[in-house]
Amino acid sequence: MRNKVLDGPSCLVLDVSLPGVDGLELQRELADGGVLIPIIFITGHGDIPMTVKAIKSGAVEFLTKPFVDQDLLNAIEQAFDRDRITRHEQGELSELRKRYDSLTARERQ
């Protein structure tokens, strides 16, 4: 399955405790589905194991409430930067696939 990339630079700001779903579980489901989107977690009840799990799974930041607004803005900027890099790399990879697909069997050898 190819990774899915949204149209514009994006990020997702998630609370760890969402009604009906765990934010960390949603992060895993998105990754399993090939959805590439930087995630910033916020929580009022975080702990070190939860933070480590989120970051190891690719979260950009894990903020504990109350947090400074500028910290969230900085995390969003970092997430957008990460997303731009991912989009650039995906574009280059897509171009290489197109070039490879256009080769004859002999040229591929």
Q: What is the pTM for the complete model shown?
A: 0.75
pLDDT of residue 1: 44
User: In what helix (H) or strand (E) does residue 63 lie, and over which residues does it extend?
Assistant: strand 61-64
Percentage of the chain lying above the pLDDT 70 cut: 93
Sorting pLDDT into bands at 50, 70 and 90, what band is 3? low
- Average pLDDT taken over every residue of the chain: 87
Percentage of the chain lying above the pLDDT 90 cut: 46
Enter the tokens of residue 43. 């929580």
pLDDT of residue 4: 54
pLDDT of residue 10: 85
At 22, is the secondary structure helix, strand, or coil?
A: strand
Stronger pLDDT, 70 or 101, i.e. the higher one? 70
Cα separation, 80 vs 74, whole angstroms? 10
Confirm if 107 and 88 have CB atoms less than 8 A apart: no
| CA dist list (Å): 15 to 7, 26, 43, 80 | 23, 11, 5, 18
